[in-house]
A and B are shown apart, each in its own frame.
Chain A
Amino acid sequence: MSAVRERARGRSDVPPRTRTFVITPVLVVYLALAVLLVVGSVLVGVHGGVLLDHGGILNILTRGTVLGLVAIGQTLVIVTGSLDLSVAYLVGLCSLVAAETMAGSPAMIVPGVLAALVVAAVVGLVNGLVITVLKANAFIATLGVALVLRGYLEHNYTGPAGSVPRAFQHIGYDRIGPVPVAALLMLLLAAAAWWYLRRTRTGYHMYAVGGDVDVARLSGVRTGRTIVTAHVLCAVMAGLAGVFLAGRLGSGAPYVGTDAGYDLESIAAVVLGGTALAGGRGGVAGTIGGVLILSTLDTIFDDLGLDSFFKDVVRGVVLIVAVALYARRRAARRST
C-alpha cells in the first residue's frame, strides 16, 4: 500500500525536464522502508508490543547481515548484467571450509577465514570464466556451478561439520548497544562496494558492461575481465557470509545457505533496491534498503505472531509490486 502512495507522489512531483529534485529508486526504497517501519510499529503496537525496541533493532540487523553480505556481491554481478545462482551453496561450502580448517583452535582462525575466501574466489573465477570463455548464459553457468557444489555437499556431508573456536564466535554475537558488530562490518563493506562501483574505473566499467556489452567492448572496455572481476567479488562476499554464519552457528552447515534461499532472496533484495535485472542501472545503497525492508518485514511478522508461510506470500507480492512500479516509472519517463 505504501509503495502505491509513493508512486502517486513520485509521478506528480517529477516535472519532465528539471533536474533539481529527482525521485531516485534509492529514495523510494528508503521512503518505503520508513513507511514500513511506521506502519509496522503501529501494527505491533496495537498487538501489544514494540517494534523498534532493543531486541527489535537487533533482530532486524542480525537478519539483514548475512543477506546483506550476499546481496552486496549480487549487486555487483547484476549491475554487470550477469546473475549468480550459486551463492546459496557457496555460503554453505564456505561455512564448512572455515569451520573445518579452524577445527576449534584459535590459532587457525586466520587460515580458516582465508581458506574459505580462497575457495569462494575460485568458485567465482569458475563462474566468470564459464560465462566469458565458454560464452554460457550466466543463468545456466551459475546454475550449473550451483548444481556441482550441491552434488559435492550432498556427497560429502550429511550434517554440520567442523567447529569454530570460541574466540571467533564473538564475531557472531558481539554488539555495541543494540547494533551487532557484524552488521556494522556489513555496512562498512557496503560502503566500500558503493565506493568501488561509483569511484573506480572497474566500477564504472561494470555499469558500462551491464548497460550494453557491445558498446562497452567497442569503447575499449575489457568486458570479459570486468565480468570475471564482478563474479569473483560476488563469490568472496558470499564466502564472507558463510564465514560469519560459521561463527554464529559454531560449526559449518552444508545447507545453511539453501535453507534460507540466499540465491533467489539476494536477487530479490537487489531488485527490490531498484537495480535493473538487465544490468547497467542501480547500486549498493538501494540494495541495503531492499535487505532492510525484507528483514523488517520478517521481524514485523514475528512480532505479530503470524504464520511464517504468510511471509513468503507477502514477500512475493511486495517483490512483484515494487518491480512493477520501477518499470512503470521508467516507461513513463521514456515516453515523456
Chain B
Amino acid sequence: MRARPRLADGTGPVLVVLLILLVGLAFAGPAYAEPGGYLALLKRAAPLVVLAVGQYFVIVSGGFDLSVGSLVTAEVVVAARLVNGDDANTGWVIALLLGCGILVGLVNGLITTKLLVPSFIVTLGMLLVLDGAVFLWSGGAPRGALSPSFRLIGRGSVDVPVLGQLPWSVIVLLVVVAAAVWFMRSGTGRTLLAVGDNENVVRLAGGRVDRLRLLAFVLSGLLASVAAILLAGFAGVSAQVGEGLEFRAITAVVLGGVLLGGGRGSVVAAAAGALSLEALFSLLNLLGVSGALESAVQGVIIIAAVAYAAHGAGLWRVLRPHRPVPDTA
C-alpha cells in the first residue's frame, strides 16, 4: 500500500508502447542503431516532456491548462526581443521568463480557485489574452534575436566521460522528471493526487485544496517557461512555435494513462507518454508517412488510449458486434 501499486497503475501499458516504438525505430532507421540516435530523440522530445509533466500536475488535480502553448509562444517572442542577440542579457531574461511563467500560473490558479471559474475557461481566456498581447506588443512579427548562450541550453551539449556528448536539454529533462517524481512521492504530491480524486474529502481531512490547485498551475506555468527556453534554443524564434502544444501535451498525458478529471496516473507515465508521442512521430517520418497524416494518427491514438484506459483488457468485448453480458459498469 505504499507508492508501488499507484506507480504501476497505468504506467505499464505506456512503457510497453514506448519500448515497442523504440525497438521499431531501431529497425526503421540506421541512425537509431547507436545511442546517439536515441539521444537526439530525447533532445527533440525534451520540451514536450517538460510540458507534459507540467500539464500532468494540473490534470491530476482535476483541471486543464490550455494556456501553455500560447505561453511558450509569448515567452519565445519576448525572449528574442529582450535578448536582442546580446550574451550579456541571457541571465536576466531567463530569470524573467521563469518569473513570467510563475506569474501566469499564479493568475490561472487564483482565478480558478478564488473566483470559482472552471480551469478550462480560465486558461482558454489566458490563451486569448497571451496570444493577443504578444502580437500586440511585437506588431505581428517577432523581432530581435537570441544570443548564442541562450540557445546553448536548447541545442548545445556537454562532454560526459562515458556517454560522449550529452545535450543540455536532456540533462534539464532528467532533472525535471526526477524532481517531479520526488514531488509526487512527497506528502504534498500525494495530497495533490487526492484533490483530483475527491476534493471534498481532502478538504474535510484538513488539506488546503485551493493552495494545492494553485501550486499545480504555478508548476505548469514554470515548466512551460522551461519548455519555452528549450524550444527557443532548439527550434529558434517564430510566432508559431507554441501552436497546438497545449493539445499535444494533453495528448501525451492522456497517452500515459492519466485520467482526465484527476486523481489517477503517475508522472513517469505522463513523461513516457510524451516520449512515445515524439518517438511515434519519428517512426512515422522514417516510414515515409506524410506529415499531414501525423495529426490523424495522433487523433486515433488518443481515442484508443482513452478507450483502453476506460475498459482495460475488456475493450475487445465492447467492440464485438453482439456483446455478452457486460460485467463492467
Contacts and interface: CB of A to CB of B under 8 A. Distances in A.
Contact of A313 (B117, B129, B260, B295): B129
A277 B125 contact: no
Contact of B299 (A146, A311, A312): A146
Given A143-B302, A145-B299, A323 B118 contact: yes
B175 interface: no
Interface in B11-49: none
B295 A150 contact: yes
A124 to B, nearest CB: 15
Nearest to B114: A324
Interface string A107-141: 00000000000000000000000100111110111
B125 A320 contact: yes
B126 interface: yes
Interface residues of A, number: 44
A277 B310 CA distance: 23
Contacts of A134: 303, 306-307, 310-311, 315, 318
A42 interface: no
A317 B132 CA distance: 11
Interface in B278-320: 290-303, 306-307, 310-311, 315, 318
Interface string B119-153: 01110111111011101100010000000000000
Contacts of B292: 151, 154-155
B224 interface: no
Contacts of A148: 295-296, 299-300
A140 B306 contact: yes
A255 to B, nearest CB: 13
Contacts of B173: none
Nearest to B67: A316
A144 B260 CA distance: 14
Interface string A288-317: 000000000000000000010111111111
B247 interface: yes
B296 A313 contact: no
A189 interface: no
Nearest to A312: B132
Interface stretch (A33-41, A197-205, A229-237, A264-272): A264-272
Nearest to B302: A144
Which 8 pairs show the lowest CB-CB distances between chains A and B?
A: A151-B296, A312-B132, A147-B299, A316-B128, A154-B292, A316-B129, A144-B303, A134-B307
Interface of B: 64, 111, 115-118, 120-122, 124-129, 131-133, 135-136, 140, 247, 250-251, 254, 260-261, 290-303, 306-307, 310-311, 315, 318
18 contacts: A130-B303, A136-B310, A137-B260, A140-B250, A143-B247, A145-B303, A150-B295, A268-B124, A277-B120, A309-B132, A312-B131, A316-B126, A316-B128, A316-B129, A320-B121, A323-B118, A324-B117, A331-B116
